[in-house]
Every structure is written in C-alpha cells, then in structure tokens.
Amino acid sequence: MNAHSYHWSFFKHSDHSFGLFYPRHYILIGLDSQARAREVERVFVEEGFPVEDVAFASGDFLAGKLESTADIGLLDRIKIGIAHIAGTEQGYIDDDLKLAGRGGAFVFVHAPDEDTTARATTIIERIHPVYARHYRELAIERIVYPSPATSTV
C-alpha cells in the first residue's frame, strides 16, 4: 500500500518518510485529554495562528489512521525495521500510541520557518503538554519531553 494513502489533507507537505509517519514542518503536541487538546487548539488560533494551520486529532485518529502500519507493503516494513533499530521515528510513534491508549489527544501546528516555530514554542511552554516535538526537514526536535526516568508516556 502506498504511504500516501494515509495522507491527511490538513498537511501541506508529505506526512510520511522512510515508511513512517513524519509530518514535515509540523509540531505535534501530545495532551492528556481531548478536552485539553481542543483548548490548546483554540489557544493557538487566539494567539494568531491561522485556523488552517492548527488541527486537533483524537488519539484514535492518530493511532488508527495517521500512524497505522497495518496495510503497508514489505518494503515499508523493512524501512520501519531499520528506523526502529536506529531508534528514530518508531520510538515517538510508540509514545503516541501509549498516550492515545490512555485517552490522550493531539494538536498539530504548521511551523515551516524559525519565526513560526519560536512563536509556537513560546505557547507550548505556557500550556504544559505531556510532550511536543517538531518534525524538521531532517530531524525531530524535542520541544517538551519528559525524562525517561519520570516518563509515563
């Protein structure tokens, strides 16, 4: 199955890389409930982010649609295996699945440049999410992430 079959029209860029979910130029914010995620979505819009650049995603939608690997082909499975060994995207997907399983939800913010990323980071630091990360061109940047010793993610 083509990775683009999972594509969410909200994303302005490709949402997969190396066979895994990778929404390039977006910040993913993990929150402990759908109500909290809806509140954070509203905060970003109130802070001047265009409504088309901010989106809520339930845990079920993220886990079942965006990050699902149920119907992928052999080549993509090999790529995922390599990514898992390298400790890249797969670890973040595991965190997302755990949070979704506990009733968590997510907010995506389009952050294509440094100014937008800085504005979003300032808001993120105020809202105290479970975690937040930015999918940059070539790397995932942790904006807020619990330390492994204290993490329940």
Could you read off the pLDDT tens digit of each residue along the chain, which spans 153 residues? 333 334 566 677 655 444 566 788 999 999 999 999 999 999 999 999 999 999 999 988 887 765 544 454 444 444 444 444 334 555 677 788 899 999 999 999 999 999 999 999 999 999 999 999 999 887 889 999 876 544 555
Kindly state whether residue 89 falls inside one of the protein's structural domains.
yes
Kindly state whether residue 13 falls inside one of the protein's structural domains.
no
If one counts the domains in the chain, the total is 1
Kindly state whether residue 15 falls inside one of the protein's structural domains.
no
Residue type, 129: P
pLDDT in the model for residue 116: 98
pLDDT in the model for residue 72: 45
Q: Give me the domain span that covers residue 90.
A: 23-144
pLDDT in the model for residue 7: 53
Q: How far apart are CA 151 and CA 148, in angstroms?
A: 5
Kindly state whether residue 130 falls inside one of the protein's structural domains.
yes
Kindly state whether residue 1 falls inside one of the protein's structural domains.
no
User: Per the structure block, which two tokens stand in for 8?
Assistant: 């969410």
pLDDT in the model for residue 153: 54
Q: How far apart are CA 134 and CA 13, in angstroms?
A: 14
Kindly state whether residue 123 falls inside one of the protein's structural domains.
yes
Query: Which candidate, 79, 59, 55, places its Cα nearest to that of 69?
Result: 79
pLDDT in the model for residue 52: 95
E strands within the chain?
16-17, 20-21, 26-31, 54-58, 105-110, 131-135, 140-144
